[in-house]
Amino acid sequence: MTGKILPEKNLVVRHSALELIEHWAIAISGLVLFLTGMFELPMSKRYYIVNIPGLGWSADYMTSLYIHYAAAIVFTAAAMFHVFYHGLRGEKGLLPRKGDFSESITVIKSLFGFGEEPPMNKYLPEQRLAYAGMAFVILMLIISGLVKTYKNLYAPDMSLTVVLWATWIHNIFFILFFLAFLAHMAAILLRPNWPMVRGIFTGKVRLDYARHRHPLWIDDIEPAQEMPSMVVEDTQAPPPVPEDERS
């Protein structure tokens, strides 16, 4: 369950196991799609990629397509699951809010030492904006990919206009997907974001970090935890943070 505070371990649950599965299913299948999508271009032989040990299959368009379809099943199903599951539960924490754009600028400036970071919720304003952008890119890739797949299987003589739209949307958003991936990786390089990295692997982030950077989130979840059976001990004074984990 997300938002559960584990004071004795100085941790708070940021992502449920299901959310971690969703994230990694989309991330890994997305990278496989990116790689096999590249191999659908006539580049493997030209650039001698086919000679790299383990990539001998990269010049075989049918093998690449087969793997591309397989990854697309995971990618599409996980994306649809994400939208509908969290939609049904009414979870809107990652959706952009009014003022996110200006707040993002303030946060980004603070990352480079200009000004103070405002108190934040579970997700940073730029995370919410990035999420919306990535979701749009993924949606366009899925729709155009499904059209192309349908054409491959059932309608090779589909309207050329539709085929060209699907193809070029797929190609352009394929590049945008890669750029969004690079931006996602670049965000990890920023030191203030480091404590969040463990969250996407273990589901949990340090409580003292969350209190410091995401006080609005902690404020939201703490009253819910102050139930008789879940006594929170001395939340005002978290255990000392090991030197190597201090940011």
Q: Which is nearer to other proteins, 156 or 223 (CB)?
A: 156
CB atoms within 10 A of CB 155: 12
Question: CB-based burial of residue 145 (10 Å sphere; 0-12 exposed, 13-18 middle, 19+ buried)?
Answer: buried
Q: Which two tokens stand for residue 31?
A: 């990278």
Distance, CA of 67 to CA of 44 (rounded, Å): 16
Q: Which is nearer to other proteins, 139 or 179 (CB)?
A: 139
Q: Taking the complex as a whole, how short is the minimal distance between the CB of residue 96 and other proteins, in angstroms?
A: 22
Nearest distance in Å: CB 206, other proteins = 28
Residues that bind other proteins (CB under 8 A): 18, 40-43, 45-48, 61-62, 65-66, 69-70, 72-85, 87-89, 142, 145-146, 149-153, 156-157, 160, 163-164, 167-168, 171
Sign (positive or negative) of CA dihedral 36, 37, 40, 43: negative
Instruction: Indicate the residue among 76 and 104 with the shorter CB distance to other proteins.
Output: 76
Rounded to a whole number of angstroms, the minimum distance from the CB of residue 197 to other proteins is: 27
Shortest distance in whole angstroms from residue 175 CB to other proteins:
13
Write down the least CB distance from residue 168 to other proteins, Å: 8
Under DSSP, is residue 157 helix (H, G, I), strand (E, B) or coil?
A: coil
Identify the residue whose tokens are 């707040």: 103
Phi-psi region of 48 (alpha: psi -120 to 50; beta: other; left: phi over 0): left
Q: Which is nearer to other proteins, 91 or 219 (CB)?
A: 91
Q: How far apart are CA 153 and CA 65, in angstroms?
A: 12
- Find the shortest distance in angstroms from Cβ 2 to other proteins: 13
Nearer to other proteins, 86 or 212 (CB): 86
CA 211 from centroid of its chain's CA atoms: 23
The answer to whether 95 and 122 have CB atoms below 8 angstroms apart is no
Q: Which is nearer to other proteins, 72 or 210 (CB)?
A: 72
- Look at residue 206 and give its three-state secondary structure: strand
